[in-house]
Amino acid sequence: MSKNIKPESLMMSYGYKPELSEGAVKCPIFQTSTFVFKSAEEGKAFFEVAYGHREKNESEELGLIYSRINNPNLEILEKRLTLWDKAEDCAVFESGMSAISTVLLEFLKPGDLLLISSPLYGGSDHFIKKILPKFGINIVEFKVGQTQKEIIEIVKKTGLSEKLALIYIETPANPTNDLIDIKGSKEIAKHFSTGEKEIYLAVDNTYMGPVWQHPIAHGADLVLYSATKYIGGHSDVIAGACLGSKNLISRVKGLRTFLGNMASPNTGWLLLRSLETLKVRMDAQAFNANKVADFLNKHQKVEKVYFLGNLSEKDGEQFEIKKRQCLTNGGMISFDIKGGEKEAFKFLNALQLVKLAVSLGSTESLAEHPATMTHVDVDSELKKEFSISEKMIRLSVGVENYEDLIADLNQALEKI
């Protein structure tokens, strides 16, 4: 097959051999805990490779052993996911949080310093600030808009710059769509790396999904997803993924084997099905988001719209980062309604087609109130700083007809 074939053309077939499954055109669910070895010698050889006691031969593939270590649904899913980010390897998990927490535990140890961007997804923020310190890990954060020089100073001021082990960022930030520079973050990692120690950059790419932003191309070492969002895309599965080089992912898979937080065969199968329509779903969502943002930008009951498509030359660095990193304006729009919580709730309660729920990236459009829902845990000073106020609504745009979405938003705005 041609080298330039696009990922969307391979999502129905890549990595699957029908002849190994009675000719079934679709990969069945391998609902099995363990796999029969042809011989004791084969079992021994599989374990040697799985536990890293010897390197794989060139032609050798890791044999199937036990579904905590490997399973065909997960292996095929991992191969297909690598195509979007042009990653060497991938590990899938039972949730986005398990992918994130496994990476943090694998690449940090007691005494280390972790540098994070702020704000982060609430679950990541909680794990990093409330759980990692119990293991003696130090945390320092920087905010959107701070320059490389300022961030380097922040790290130095901790007195622990030699202990810096990992940089963890999320861009665009949820729910404000503020951008963090991936390439610039990698330069900070390089600044503190030494001959003996390389500092890795991990990027949570959930908000742009694997179609709209490719962090590895900008220098990221590890890319993380809540596959619950765009990858799964139907609000019917919780899952996660981590992508990177063969070497780093083998470390991630090593810890995953012993934490036992891999995805189940059924989850793997659901995601294989979801991936077949990933590109068409996300194309439709990006198209709809542009239409919906145009509508909100002009509505007199809307005070401000936070949308990547609203960035222009006058936004300076933010606009430059967008041009470099983002292939579309995404499918997430936040906006301030004129008024406060009362008006925001009135609007949310009046929605009919758009569902009132947290989560994002699914086929159906979802709206929520960050200040009292997803971001209720963020301390009030930070909320103010990030403009996560009572009047803010977050909207995840789905694949519905955009005219119907706009009509629903319009009638709900009229109720205020």
Phi, psi angle pair for 263, to nearest 5°: -70, 155
Token pair listed for 189: 């990692």
Token pair listed for 247: 């070497």
Instruction: Report the residue number, 96 or 244, with the smaller CB distance to ligand PLP.
Output: 96
Which residue's CB atom is positioned nearest to ligand PLP? Answer: 96
Q: How far is 199 from 159, CA to CA, in rounded Å?
A: 17
Please state whether 181 falls in left (phi above 0), alpha (psi between -120 and 50) or beta. Answer: beta
Instruction: Report the residue number, 63 or 123, with the smaller CB distance to ligand PLP.
Output: 123
Phi, psi angle pair for 117, to nearest 5°: -85, 160
Instruction: Report the residue number, 163 or 322, with the smaller CB distance to ligand PLP.
Output: 322
Give the binding range for ligand PLP (CB under 6 A) out of 63-71, 116-124, 214-222, 295-303.
116-124
- Least distance to ligand PLP from the beta carbon of 240, Å? 5
- Least distance to ligand PLP from the beta carbon of 325, Å? 16
Instruction: Report the residue number, 240 or 330, with the smaller CB distance to ligand PLP.
Output: 240
> Within 307-336, which residues bind ligand PLP (CB under 6 A)?
none
The conformation of residue 34, written as its DSSP 8-state character, comes to B
Binds ligand PLP by CB under 6 A, chosen from 123, 219, 254, 339: 123
Instruction: Report the residue number, 7 or 119, with the smaller CB distance to ligand PLP.
Output: 119
Binding-residue total with ligand PLP (CB under 6 A): 16
Q: How far is 224 from 212, CA to CA, in rounded Å?
A: 14
Q: How far is 94 from 92, CA to CA, in rounded Å?
A: 7
Q: Which residues contact 36 (CB under 8 A, 6 or more apart)?
A: none
Which x/- pattern, by CB under 6 A, does the window 59-98 give for ligand PLP? Answer: ------------------------------------xxx-
Which x/- pattern, by CB under 6 A, does the window 139-178 give for ligand PLP? Answer: -------------------------------x---x----
From 61, 75, 76, 69, select the one nearest 35 (Cα to Cα): 69
- Least distance to ligand PLP from the beta carbon of 223, Å? 12
| Rounded alpha-carbon distances, angstroms, from residue 246 to 73, 87, 126, 249, 348 | 19, 9, 29, 5, 45
Binds ligand PLP by CB under 6 A, chosen from 240, 265, 331, 398: 240
- Least distance to ligand PLP from the beta carbon of 99, Å? 8
Phi, psi angle pair for 225, to nearest 5°: -135, 140
Q: Which residues contact 118 (CB under 8 A, 6 or more apart)?
A: 141, 142, 143, 144, 382
Instruction: Report the residue number, 253 or 375, with the smaller CB distance to ligand PLP.
Output: 375
Which x/- pattern, by CB under 6 A, does the window 190-229 give for ligand PLP? Answer: --------------x-xx------------------x-xx
Chain position carrying tokens 């999502």 = 11
Instruction: Report the residue number, 64 or 202, with the smaller CB distance to ligand PLP.
Output: 202
Instruction: Report the residue number, 121 or 347, with the smaller CB distance to ligand PLP.
Output: 121
Number of CB atoms found within 10 A of residue 28's CB: 13
Binds ligand PLP by CB under 6 A, chosen from 70, 124, 290, 328: 124
Chain position carrying tokens 């895309």 = 233
Q: Which residues contact 363 (CB under 8 A, 6 or more apart)?
A: 233, 234, 235, 281, 398, 399
Name the residues that contact ligand PLP, by CB under 6 A.
Answer: 95-97, 121, 123-124, 170, 174, 204, 206-207, 226, 228-229, 238, 240
